[in-house]
Amino acid sequence: MKKIISVILVATLLLSLASCLYIFPQTTKPLPPAETPQNRSTVKPIDPTWTPPTLEKGASLLPSIADVVAKVYPSVVAISTEVSTQSLFYGPQRQSGAGSGWIIDKDGIIVTNNHVVEKASKLTIELSDDRIFEVATSKVHRDPITDLAVIKIEASNLPAAELGDSSKLRVGDWVVAIGNPLGQGLRAKEGTISGLKVSLPVDVGQTLDDLIETSAAINPGNSGGPLVNMQGQVVGITSAKISGVGVEGMGYAISVKAALPIITQLISSGYVTRPYLGVTLATVTPYLATIYRLPVDKGAAIAYVAPNSPAEKAGLKSNDIIIRFQNKDVANTGDLLQALHNSKIGEEVTITFVRGNETRTAFVRLIESPPPSR
């Protein structure tokens, strides 16, 4: 019996040793042969003489934004307005508003946006040194088309802002917007330029060109304030009106290059001269065409013709519908006004219009626009 048990133990031991020696089949690729001087010579280097670039010790620092603000701050003003309105239920009402501006001339000439002051019945200017001036509306000169205005206050030796060349700006440049956001007093907000020479339609027949797009926050109350470069020079006039045109996270400023000719005319003449046709217009829509049985469903209908105007002299009449100006289609009043603004004083233009069921052509010589009525 002992002999049988011994035989079984020996057999079990041999089987265990056999299982330990089992070699599994090879399922992966064999390792490549060790590198030798013979196969190393087949590797082709990119550049045997290449050396890594040196590490820079530090990047140049940006100018201090505090220094920029300190330079421009004395030239920035806060504007407060009162607007008279009529309520159906409560009668006459007064609404207050806030805006910004900046001093362009030491003798009290201030630049702002038209929409800040256009309906104001009362206007107050507060300087950075806390002096306050009430301004008569006769001292305000506006240009609604470019959304610019100038204000004259009775003061002298004021700290006029320095102007910068906005045509030298680059996308990525740092700028600072300074103004009176939400009427809470002068504030400064930094940002970068994200776009140049931007055009945006802001109203019927009103498209602003050569705008500066910036990431600097521009809120109601900032309107009319300066956008300045890192040298503390004004390169744009910020406008919350433009910033509110269906955009988010982008502010816009009218470039100084585009604004300066308008500002110059407002200061020297009191208004801006442009080509003048002498008509009041209304846009034709398919709905109006159906209701009034008009011969066309788009165009600019003439509602009024000014006496002795270029339009009257050319034979245009009320209810004529202008459909083409200088061989360009006119679908609405905006198209016609934009084409008119792009024309020149003294230029003869061709206007195609519909009268009744007839399509006619008139040749109109544009003249200089008359002074605006106050």
CA gap 190, 69 in Å, rounded: 10
CA gap 214, 195 in Å, rounded: 7
Annotation marks residue 115 as catalytic: yes
Catalytic residue among 75, 80, 223, 255: 223
| Residue-level pLDDT at 204 | 63
User: What share of the chain has pLDDT > 90, as a percent?
Assistant: 60
Per residue in 249-294, pLDDT (tens digit) is: 678 999 999 999 999 999 999 999 999 999 999 999 999 999 999 9
Annotation marks residue 341 as catalytic: no
For residue 359, the tally of other CB atoms under 10 A from its CB is 14
Q: Region 36-43: what's the mean pLDDT?
A: 62
Give 8's pLDDT tier (boundaries 50, 70, 90). very low
CATH 2.40.10.120 residue window(s) in the chain: 63-272
Residues in a beta bridge with 77: 101
| Residue-level pLDDT at 21 | 44
Residue 360 has pLDDT above 60, yes or no: yes
Residue 203 has pLDDT above 90, yes or no: no
Per residue in 214-257, pLDDT (tens digit) is: 999 888 888 999 999 999 999 999 987 666 555 556 789 999 99
Give residue for tokens 């269906």: 246
CATH 2.30.42.10 residue window(s) in the chain: 275-368
User: How high is the mean pLDDT of the chain?
Assistant: 85
Q: Region 320-337: what's the mean pLDDT?
A: 93
Residue 57 has pLDDT above 80, yes or no: no
Q: Region 128-141: what's the mean pLDDT?
A: 93
Catalytic residue among 80, 100, 143, 147: 147
Residues in a beta bridge with 329: 324
Helix runs in the chain, H state only: 2-20, 37-40, 65-72, 114-117, 240-243, 256-268, 286-291, 310-313, 333-341
Q: Is the Cβ–Cβ distance between 133 and 154 less than 8 Å?
A: yes
Q: Region 77-98: what's the mean pLDDT?
A: 83
Q: Region 352-366: what's the mean pLDDT?
A: 95
Q: Which long-range contacts (CB under 8 A, 24 or more apart) does 193-197 make?
A: 193/169, 194/250, 195/171, 195/250, 196/169, 196/170, 196/171
Q: Region 51-67: what's the mean pLDDT?
A: 77
| Residue-level pLDDT at 218 | 86
| Residue-level pLDDT at 249 | 63
Residue 139 has pLDDT above 80, yes or no: yes
- Which one has a higher pLDDT value, 370 or 26? 370
End-to-end CA distance of the chain: 133
Catalytic residue among 75, 115, 141, 239: 115
Give 13's pLDDT tier (boundaries 50, 70, 90). very low
Q: Is the Cβ–Cβ distance between 103 and 161 less than 8 Å?
A: yes
- Which one has a higher pLDDT value, 22 or 308? 308
Residue 67 has pLDDT above 80, yes or no: yes
Residue 124 has pLDDT above 60, yes or no: yes
Look up the CATH architecture of domain 63-272.
Beta Barrel (2.40)
Q: Is the Cβ–Cβ distance between 133 and 249 less than 8 Å?
A: no
Annotation marks residue 156 as catalytic: no
Residue 18 has pLDDT above 50, yes or no: no
Give residue for tokens 């988010």: 248
| Residue-level pLDDT at 19 | 45
Give 83's pLDDT tier (boundaries 50, 70, 90). confident
What does pTM read for this prediction? 0.75
Q: Which long-range contacts (CB under 8 A, 24 or more apart) does 126-133 make?
A: 126/77, 126/78, 126/79, 126/80, 127/77, 127/155, 127/158, 128/73, 128/74, 128/75, 128/76, 128/77, 128/186, 129/74, 131/155
Give 181's pLDDT tier (boundaries 50, 70, 90). confident
| Residue-level pLDDT at 247 | 55
User: What share of the chain has pLDDT > 70, as a percent?
Assistant: 83
CATH superfamily name and code, 275-368 = PDZ domain (2.30.42.10)
